[in-house]
Amino acid sequence: MSQKLSPESVPSAGEMPMLGLGTWENTDHDQCADSVQTALEMGYRHIDTAQAYRNEDAVGEGIAAADVDREEVFLATKVWTSKLSHEKVIQSTNASLDALGVDYVDLLYVHWPANEYDPEETLAAFEQLYNENTIRAIGVSNFEPEHLDRAQEVLDVPVFANQVEMHPFLPQEELRAYAAENDIELVAYSPLARGKVLDDPTLGEIAEKHGVSETQVSLAWLREKGVTAIPKATSEAHIRDNWESLTLELDDEDVARIDDIETVDRQVHPDFAPDSWD
């Protein structure tokens, strides 16, 4: 039987719990709101959304419905690439707060270094929001080392987190090393490789050894790497399976076997992705 987990027992990166609920592609309003409420009442305290997901209102509804104080929830959203001029960052973030029904977000990300992104102009707006206490931390997403270098040159406020795709088929060694050297948290989206971890024989063998799912093995491996994971889940069963990954402790052999997986499979690669991804 799995040990009972409380929010206080969840590892954290600063104020950010190291397991969160992702909401990408969760566009059914009622389902999204229900999944957020379910997760929070199960013990999750980290919810991730974005302007581009078109579900901030549902996420806010789920937070309001849950029997959890807003101050206990680490809430993150992201500014889309067409909203990255100074004026649009301010306007769109205020619109996000209205949709979410909150006075602030704990973490605001630049969603991609693309389209309207200009380091000086965009990040000046983020810094303004930070100084106004509208956002509690500044994040970036899909940034490579060169983007991070420039962001850190421009900002007087530290970059708190970089959210990137990461899973056993995309281990992101370079970005993990950069994050460690620069005191930046790494947050993994698509941490289950959009379900492909379920079919990997190595992960299957380790899951069988511990009597858990391949999902839990993948999430536990990310935690061993010091990476926060935000898997999407809509059903109570999947939300709980992800949550119970926090009770799984992989041994050194397990971690080494996952590290040795040779499959490379990036799941997200839009045409505006960084050139270094090609």
Residue 107 φ/ψ, nearest 5 degrees: -150, 130
Instruction: Kindly write down the DSSP assignment for every residue of 213-268, as one continuous string.
Output: -HHHHHHHHHHHTT-EE--B--SHHHHHHHHGGGG----HHHHHHHHT--------
In angstroms, the first-to-last Cα distance of the chain is 45
Q: Active-site residue among 44, 53, 117, 189? A: 53
Active site residue 189: no
| CA distances for 34 relative to 31, 51, 57, 60, 276, angstroms | 5, 19, 12, 11, 38
Give yes or no for a contact between 81 and 271, defined as CB atoms under 8 angstroms apart.
no
Q: How many H helices and E strands in the chain?
A: 10, 10
Distance in angstroms (rounded) separating the CA atoms of residues 30 and 159: 34
In this structure, the number of other CB atoms found within 10 A of the CB of residue 90 comes to: 18
Neighbours of 266 (CB within 10 A): 13
Which residues sit opposite 108 in a β-bridge? 77, 138
Catalytic center residues: 53
